[in-house]
Amino acid sequence: MEFPPIGWTNKSVCLDHIEDEYLRARLAPDVAEHVCSFCPRTSTNGAAAIAVNLEHLAAVVAEVAVRFYEDAVNAPFMDGEISVQDFDTLEVVYNMLDDSLPASLLDSIVKSVAELIHEPQIWIRLDNVSYVEFGWSSFADTVKHTSRLVLAPRSGHAQEPTPPEDLYTFLTALSGIVNETTGLVQVLEAGARIYRARIERDAGALEREVQEDPAKKLGPAPQGSAAAGRMNAQGISLFYAAMEEETACAEVVAHSAYNEAVVGEFTVQQPLRIFDLTRVPVRPSIFDESAGPIYPFIAFFDLFRDAITQPVILDGKHPVDYAPTQVVTEFLRWGTQAKLDGIAWESRVVPDGKNIVLFYGPDTPMRSTKEPDKEESELWRLTFGAAAEPIFIIDPSSIRRYEAERTVSVRKSRW
């Protein structure tokens, strides 16, 4: 679709009112006005201009809007009516500028901008955008309160899609950006070191136990004792680790009532494909051209990242709150075209620390560098087959204990 033509106006707006940095950068070269139509500010003729004519703002809004919407003349008709949700220009402009303007000026600027865009009069969402509009909050609501099932849509069915079908459509669209070309998948090469920590009341006893059988005792929890986490449902064991020793310890301490953690170093034996949330831009702007068509997905993963970094609630009474992030994690584990091995995200506990969850449970071939005795070798052969190569190797000399120092600060709650 071509960019909609823009009408004429003598209204202008201060560049300072534009809060979105990408939009501001787009408009900066066109600042040529000395008055603002939305606040009393003026600059005298000799001084630098402060405002931009609204035609420029409308042109950028229209250009970005056609990445998300199209003219309703293209809409599918059913019984003489448009069979999808439609929007007038005011709603479209509002959706475009919602996050970019101060609340006090939003309505008046949106109205003035919408008046400059005469066509199309009625808009519909572009096909590939409509299900993405599902967004994090609808997704989370559906998963928490309606269904956790993900089902491919039934073909030839005229009925409205069911919630499990909506989830499928949404998640498969999402998986389209989880690949190397978007820069969101990074390869953890063979030889990379990762750290996994455990915590118990008696850290000394735990350390002795881990020294005995490092791969087993420091590897993923046995199926039966895997507690629910932000990324795994109860009973599904995953390999939670960190890229740094301190991060691994600090994270387990932060999620526990005890203070001393035992940590060990695992060396990765084969390249692992990791969905790296640290590469997802924070609060992406729709005016950031580099995000372009993948903007809605990026926005979703930004909120997904927020959700997984929320502290685990230690009273164990809120398992339903974990359901949305658990479903996304399971989809990333089983539902992407090219297999993913894990997800990385930044630590909230250690600045610059990086967490990693690997989709490997307690049945993963992993062993210690310690020479296995006869019994161990036999067990390995029976479990994994004689030719099996370990995916992770732990060095027993890397096992150590870390003690946490906790600080608590309080301030009066706001009310």
Q: Residue 23 Cβ, how far from Zn ion at the closest point, in Å?
A: 15
Q: Residue 38 Cβ, how far from Zn ion at the closest point, in Å?
A: 5
Nearer CB in complex with Zn ion: 41/339: 41
Nearer CB in complex with Zn ion: 41/208: 41
**Contact of 216 with 365, CB cutoff 8 Å:** no
Q: Residue 18 Cβ, how far from Zn ion at the closest point, in Å?
A: 10
Q: Residue 65 Cβ, how far from Zn ion at the closest point, in Å?
A: 23
Question: Per-residue DSSP letters for 275-328?
Answer: EEGGGSPSS--TT-TTTGGGHHHHHHHHHHHHHHTSPPPTTS--HHHHHHHHHH
Q: Which candidate, 358, 184, 171, 157, places its Cα nearest to that of 281?
A: 184
Nearer CB in complex with Zn ion: 15/340: 15
Q: Which residues does 181 contact at the CB level (< 8 Å), separation at least 6?
A: none
Nearer CB in complex with Zn ion: 5/102: 102
Q: Which residue is nearest to Zn ion (CB)?
A: 36
Distance CA 54, CA 27 (A): 10
Distances (CA, A) of 390 to 55, 142, 267, 369, 385: 63, 39, 10, 11, 11
Nearer CB in complex with Zn ion: 34/348: 34
Distance CA 415, CA 378 (A): 64
Distance CA 350, CA 319 (A): 25
Distance CA 399, CA 412 (A): 41
Nearer CB in complex with Zn ion: 36/242: 36
Q: Please report, as ranges, the residues that interact with Zn ion according to CB under 5 A.
A: 14, 36, 39, 41
Distances (CA, A) of 198 to 140, 148, 208, 261, 399: 30, 30, 13, 6, 11
Nearer CB in complex with Zn ion: 39/82: 39
Distance, first Cα to last Cα, the chain:
50
At residue 116, what are phi and psi to the nearest 5 degrees? -90, -10
Q: Residue 32 Cβ, how far from Zn ion at the closest point, in Å?
A: 15
Q: Residue 37 Cβ, how far from Zn ion at the closest point, in Å?
A: 8
Q: Residue 39 Cβ, how far from Zn ion at the closest point, in Å?
A: 3
The residue type found at 135 is G
